[in-house]
Amino acid sequence: MVKFKPELLRNISAIQKWVIPTILIFFIVLWTGFFAYHKYLQNQVKKRTDIIKPKGINSLEKINLGGIDQWVLIRGWEKSNPVLLFLHGGPGAPLFTYAREIGVTAKLEQYFVMVYWEQRGTGKSFSHSIPEESMTIEQLISDTFELSKILIDRFKVPRIYIVGRSWGSLIGLFTAKRRPELFYAYIGIGQMVYPLENDSISYQCTLKIAERSGNEEALKDLKKIGDPPYSYEELIIQRKWLTGFYEVMMAEKFSKKRINYRKKLLSTPEYSLIDIFKMGMDPFFSIKCLWNNEFYKVNLFNEVPQIGIPVFFLAGRYDYFTPSEIIENYYQKLHASKGKYFIWFEHSGHYPELEEPEKFHDVMVNKILGRIHINEKIDY
């Protein structure tokens, strides 16, 4: 048995008395600085995007939909303006991180009451208590219908506008098809039509870019996963490389800056640090539940061949996430008795609302709101 001299034991004890408090102080200073930086970034965004109009609205609210508490951010200069419900992509892509950018940069909040909703399992609406079996396309359609009814009753309007981007465009178009009496018009951004064909074209585009750039690591990963259908792990690999190539391409073509997603999360006024930590614990929850065999069976060519409200498709020329050639083909075949419109964004990819905000504003305010609410009386 090893025996320590009393002097050595006293020295170890003295070191412990200093080390533990020093470590505690270090972490306190670290977290205090992190919290202060978080608040600073949030305040900068608030100053830049505050709504101070006397009849305006800027409200973060928790609403129970389908038995699950979910969050909406409602913003607009005038509460009597038409209501627009925005359905985010993903599945599971937090919307509040760029909601204010949509409303302020594209100046939509001057003309609409913008309702940004984070669907169950996403962003602030994420919780470990959400049953995985409730994470289905049908449930999200039901949640969308329920929220739409709540908004109609609350703002005392006969109908609302509904925008679906990417993943949200499936939910949005299905809801609009089934309950046309709730909506003035449907607007699809990066419309999903046939996920299996979508991912096949997206994969081939990513593979070609990797070959042209000589990126051996990307080629190895992409050839390993092959063509869809994908598990969510395989999808993440394909999207990781596509996102990287996409950001470089858009920067070179149109001087688009890369997005710092971590800073976006920290600067979002609607997120507490607890919200951010919760999201980080299971960031792929929604996509794990929803990107499955049932999802790959969806085919709007067969399931939504016609619709009874005006439909607008907004397509980025360089969209390789939801390739616009499929959307254009679907548009040509869709029977829309109240009118259908296909609008190209020549300097955009998957995010025309952020990449061409002036044109996006013109389309939303002049071509859509102007046509339906002001210039034309459409008989529903």
- Render pLDDT for 47-78 as a digit per residue (tens, 0 to 9): 999 998 899 999 999 999 999 999 999 999 99
Q: Are 108 and 56 in contact (CB under 8 A)?
A: no
CA pair distance 276, 279, nearest whole angstrom: 5
Sign of the C-alpha dihedral computed for residues 265, 268, 269 and 271 taken in this order: negative
Question: How does strand 183-189 pair with strand 311-316?
Answer: parallel
| pLDDT per residue as tens digits for the range 166-196 | 999 999 999 999 999 999 999 999 999 999 9
Amino acid sitting at position 202 = S
Amino acid sitting at position 283 = P
Q: How many helices (H) and strands (E) does the chain have?
A: 15, 10
Q: Which of 275, 319, 324, 348 is catalytic?
A: 319
Lowest mean pLDDT among 18-22, 143-147, 349-353: 18-22
| pLDDT per residue as tens digits for the range 238-263 | 999 999 999 888 888 887 777 777 77
Tracing tokens 């070959």 back to the chain, one arrives at 211
Q: Which of 148, 166, 286, 348 is catalytic?
A: 166
CA pair distance 318, 325, nearest whole angstrom: 10
CATH architecture type of domain 57-194+259-375: 3-Layer(aba) Sandwich (3.40)
Tell me, yes or no, if 143 is annotated catalytic.
Answer: no
- Angstrom CA distances, 341 to 34, 43, 305, stand at 47, 40, 15
Contact partners, residue 153, CB within 8 Å, separation at least 6: none
Tell me, yes or no, if 350 is annotated catalytic.
Answer: yes
pLDDT of 146 over the 90 cut: yes
Q: Which of 125, 143, 148, 350 is catalytic?
A: 350
Q: Are 171 and 95 in contact (CB under 8 A)?
A: no
Domain boundaries of the chain, sorted by first residue: 1-49, 57-194+259-375, 198-254
- Angstrom CA distances, 3 to 7, 110, 165, 231, 377, stand at 12, 78, 70, 59, 95
